[in-house]
């Protein structure tokens, strides 16, 4: 079964969303509070491991916040491009309709004619600068990378999770209710605004591991 792609994004805050204390609360309320036969199933990772994990997550959040800002800028540029195209079509007609007629005193028409001419000149001259769009690229580990979706996070964050988790716990699997899937389903919305379901995250992890085993 293929992974379901999520397209809706909630708006991100510019502030870093994670700290060691915040992650400790997530673990305590979502993962390490689980018990089996009256005994805790998992151990809370140490503070230094949580601090490192929080720093990694905040770097990813900063990347996706830049992408969000760029998406908005590009959307504004596309809207401006459409508006400029409309102006280029109608302004010459407005200019022509208001062109002064010799012997006629039409102050308002002359003002309108000149205004249309100035605006047309401006949109003809500077349009390419206004509608230019940019692709944001973040450099990571000496290579260009441009992760743009929760699938990218599900591919890379298990390594960072494992470095913190396995200091005091056995490796986490990819079960839908397990520590790793639970963790990703909680933190991904704060990182990039998408809200994939635990089932979608699990499928992505399984697919990723299957491709890795075939390589």
% residues pLDDT > 90 (the chain)? 49
Tell me: pLDDT of 75 over 90: no
Q: Cβ contacts of residue 147 below 8 Å, gap of 6+?
A: 63, 153, 156
Which pLDDT score, from 0 to 100, does residue 158 have? 96
Asked if residue 37 belongs to a domain, the reply is yes
pLDDT of residue 200: 96
Q: Report the pLDDT averaged over residues 80-106.
A: 84
Residue 4: the pLDDT is 36
Reported in sequence order, the residue ranges of the chain that DSSP labels E, i.e. its strands, are 35-36, 39-40, 138-140, 143-145
The CA distance from 46 to 124, in Å, is 61
Give me the pLDDT at residue 142, please. 37
Give pTM, 2 decimals: 0.72
* Number of domains forming the structure of the chain: 1
Q: How far apart are CA 160 and CA 163, in angstroms?
A: 5
Which of 94-103, 143-152, 181-190, 202-211 bottoms out in mean pLDDT, i.e. has the lowest? 143-152
The verdict on residue 90 lying in a domain is no
**Residue with more model confidence, 101 or 95:** 95
> CB 95: neighbour CB atoms within 10 A?
18
**115 falls within a domain:** no
Q: Which domain holds residue 54?
A: 20-73+144-214
133 pLDDT tier (thresholds 50, 70, 90) = low
* Contact call for residues 163 and 49 (beta carbons, < 8 A): yes
Q: Which of 202, 188, 198 is nearest to 18 (CA)?
A: 188
Instruction: Using the predicted structure, report yes or no on whether residue 2 has a pLDDT greater than 70.
Output: no
Q: What angle do CA 128, 132, 138 make, to 5 degrees?
A: 155
In a domain, 56, yes or no: yes
Query: How far is 53 from 210, CA to CA, in rounded Å?
Result: 26
pLDDT tens for 167-209 read 999 999 899 999 999 999 999 999 999 999 999 999 999 998 7
Q: Are strands 138-140 and 143-145 parallel, antiparallel or unpaired?
A: antiparallel
pLDDT score of 138 more than 90: no
- 101 within a domain of the structure (yes/no): no
Under 8 Å between Cβ of 84 and 120: no
Q: Where are the alpha helices (DSSP H) in 132-197?
A: 150-165, 179-192
- 134 falls in which pLDDT band (50, 70, 90)? low
pLDDT given for residue 70 in this prediction: 83
Strand pairing report for 39-40 and 138-140: unpaired
What is the mean pLDDT of the segment spanning 51-80?
89
Q: What is the mean pLDDT of the chain?
A: 84
Tell me, yes or no, whether 89 lies in a domain.
Answer: no
Domain presence at residue 13 = no
């Amino acid at each position: 079964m293929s992974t379901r792609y999520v397209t809706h994004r909630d708006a991100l805050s510019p502030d870093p969303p994670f700290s060691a204390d915040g992650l400790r609360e997530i673990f305590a309320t979502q993962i390490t509070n689980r018990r089996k036969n009256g005994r805790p199933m998992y151990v809370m990772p140490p503070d230094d491991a949580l601090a490192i994990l929080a720093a990694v997550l905040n770097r990813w959040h900063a990347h996706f916040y830049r992408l969000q800002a760029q998406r908005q800028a590009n959307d504004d540029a596309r809207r401006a491009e459409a508006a400029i195209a409309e102006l280029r079509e109608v302004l010459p007609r407005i200019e022509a309709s208001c062109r002064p007629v010799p012997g006629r005193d039409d102050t308002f028409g002359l003002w309108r004619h000149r205004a249309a001419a100035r605006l047309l000149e401006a949109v003809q001259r500077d349009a390419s600068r206004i509608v230019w769009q940019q692709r944001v690229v973040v450099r990571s580990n000496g290579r260009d990378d441009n992760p743009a979706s929760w699938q990218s996070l599900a591919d890379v964050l298990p390594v960072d999770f494992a470095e913190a988790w396995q200091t005091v716990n056995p490796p986490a699997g990819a079960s839908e209710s397990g520590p790793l899937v639970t963790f990703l389903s909680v933190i991904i919305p704060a990182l990039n605004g998408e809200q994939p379901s635990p089932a979608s995250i699990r499928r992505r992890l399984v697919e990723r591991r299957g491709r890795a085993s075939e390589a």
